[in-house]
Amino acid sequence: MNRSTAREFAAPQARVEPGEVLVPTEIGDPVRGALACPAAPLVSGTLRRKGKRVSHAPAGPCADPGQDGGGAALFVATCLRRDGSTVAVAAAASPADRVAVAAARSAVDEWSAVVGTRSLLAADSPWCSGATRALAVVRRALEGRRTVHVYHEIAGDPDAIAGLAGRGAVFVRSLDEVPDGASVVFPAHGVPAEVRAEAAARGLDVIDATCPLVAGVHAEARKVAEHGDDLVLIGQPGHRAVAGIVAQAPARTALVSSPGSTATLQVTDSRRVSYLLQPGIPVEDAAPVAAALRSRFPAVRGPNPDGFCYAASDRAESIRVIASASDVMLVVGAADSPDSRHLHGLARDGGARAHIIEEAGDIEPAMLSGVSVIGLAESTSARPALAGQVTEALSGLGPLSVTRRRVITELVGAPAGQP
């Protein structure tokens, strides 16, 4: 990797209080003119980890350090971006504060040591098409109404949900909270049949955002019950989609989540058993459970693969593919999020060193030392702008090519409009 050397300048127009380090958003290079500092969040993170108070502002023009013009001591390293433009990695401190000056110099030295050419492999959005569609349905509904009630919750990042609430979306746990004649949106994961019946009986304006794949499983569950079979649902306890599926045939449906849980199943007739897969779980995770069912009930009937939800499988495989091609994998999102931890585990299984990043400043120079390829994956807990902020910050450390990779399962010969 090419390495850049930090240089010392004076910044006559910069005023930095003792005990503080200024991380410039822009500097005035005496030769190249104004230089942006996209890596500023990375430098700030390093300084904050060292207990320094940090501020952000343009540093103004640079001058030779020997000039006695007041201002701040500024440390700068420069590098090229992929488009050929020059950017800076910089930090400044009051000359009277030797400790802050040393911290500023050290932070720039640490980051200049990992400047170089890299590739970034980014995973696709963490939200499936059903969740994205439901958000769009609520947005459209709000265009012509002052208030729209959303039954339970919809999947989406916190900012998107807050934005809907700000426009008039009211999230309710029960139809009792919905006034007569009001509009109510059913979410992508669907609702039990009795909720639909209650909404119809009260004359509510129902806007159905149920994912077509979830609706298909609901219909299959009803068919199984009408056929007289006991139904086994392979799924995750507590998942949003489970309640709506089980409620289609509650007296005949049992939920299993592992091969071992099939051992205690009680059925009316071992020759009249069917199983379905809950949308939202990787199809591969259901295979061992289905095998255990066939071992215990040889006549068990399974679903048509054309109706499977492959979103979770495709997302997991995308992470594995990216991780296998990366030196390090950055998972952006909350550290305590189950989804972040899940992606972290997938990345490590794929052979990459993995780190959960809650903000760009969490990235440390050691994470990028010797790294040529960086993987990037978004958790469902990540702020919507975070992946872009991380990418922008990394672009301030040298030429960065960005490629988005996505594994997609295509059903050959599927009817038009079906995933």
**97-136 pLDDT, tens per residue?**
999 999 999 999 999 999 999 999 999 999 999 999 999 9
Cβ neighbours for 196, distance < 8 A, ≥ 6 positions apart: 186, 206
Q: Give yes or no for residue 385 having a pLDDT over 70.
A: yes
**203-261 pLDDT, tens per residue?**
999 999 999 999 999 999 999 999 999 999 999 998 889 999 999 999 999 999 999 99
Which is it for strands 86-93 and 72-80: parallel, antiparallel or unpaired?
A: antiparallel
Could you tell me where the DSSP H helices lie in 37-78? Answer: 40-49
The whole-angstrom separation of Cα 322 and Cα 317 is 9
Q: What pLDDT, on the 0 to 100 scale, is given for residue 1?
A: 39
Cβ neighbours for 379, distance < 8 A, ≥ 6 positions apart: 126, 331, 332, 333, 334, 337, 339, 340, 343, 356
Of the CA atoms within 13 Å of residue 281, those in its CB half-sphere come to: 22
Report how far apart, in Å, the C-alpha atoms of 115 and of each of 45, 234, 365, 388, 393 are: 16, 49, 9, 19, 12
Q: What pLDDT, on the 0 to 100 scale, is given for residue 417?
A: 42
**314-347 pLDDT, tens per residue?**
999 999 999 999 999 999 999 999 999 999 999 9
Q: What pLDDT, on the 0 to 100 scale, is given for residue 413?
A: 61
Q: Give yes or no for residue 411 having a pLDDT over 80.
A: no
Q: What is the largest CA-CA distance in the chain?
A: 93
pLDDT class for 68, splitting at 50, 70, 90? low
Q: What pLDDT, on the 0 to 100 scale, is given for residue 3?
A: 46
Q: Kindly report the backbone phi and psi dihedral angles of residue 280, in degrees, each rounded to the nearest multiple of 5, phi listed first.
A: 105, -5
Burial class (CB in 10 A: 0-12, 13-18, 19+), 328: buried
Cβ neighbours for 81, distance < 8 A, ≥ 6 positions apart: 87, 395, 396, 398, 399, 400
The whole-angstrom separation of Cα 368 and Cα 370 is 6
pTM (2 d.p.): 0.86
Q: What pLDDT, on the 0 to 100 scale, is given for residue 418?
A: 44
Mean pLDDT taken over the chain = 92
Q: Give yes or no for residue 415 having a pLDDT over 50.
A: no
Torsion of the alpha carbons at 26, 29, 35 and 36, rounded to the nearest 10: -30
Which is it for strands 205-208 and 230-234: parallel, antiparallel or unpaired?
A: unpaired
Nearest-10 crossing angle of helices 98-112, 40-49: 130
Helix (H, G, I), strand (E, B) or coil at 61: strand
Query: Residue written as tokens 């990418």?
Result: 391
The whole-angstrom separation of Cα 360 and Cα 370 is 19
Q: Structural domains in the chain?
A: 7-114 (no CATH), 121-125+311-405 (3.40.1010.20), 129-210 (3.40.50.11270), 213-307 (3.40.1010.20)
Helix, strand, coil percent values for the chain (each to nearest 5): 35, 25, 40
Q: What pLDDT, on the 0 to 100 scale, is given for residue 286?
A: 94
Q: Kindly report the backbone phi and psi dihedral angles of residue 90, in degrees, each rounded to the nearest multiple of 5, phi listed first.
A: -150, 160
Helix (H, G, I), strand (E, B) or coil at 167: helix
The whole-angstrom separation of Cα 245 and Cα 222 is 9
Helix (H, G, I), strand (E, B) or coil at 259: helix
Cβ neighbours for 323, distance < 8 A, ≥ 6 positions apart: 329, 346, 347, 348, 349, 350, 351, 352, 354, 375
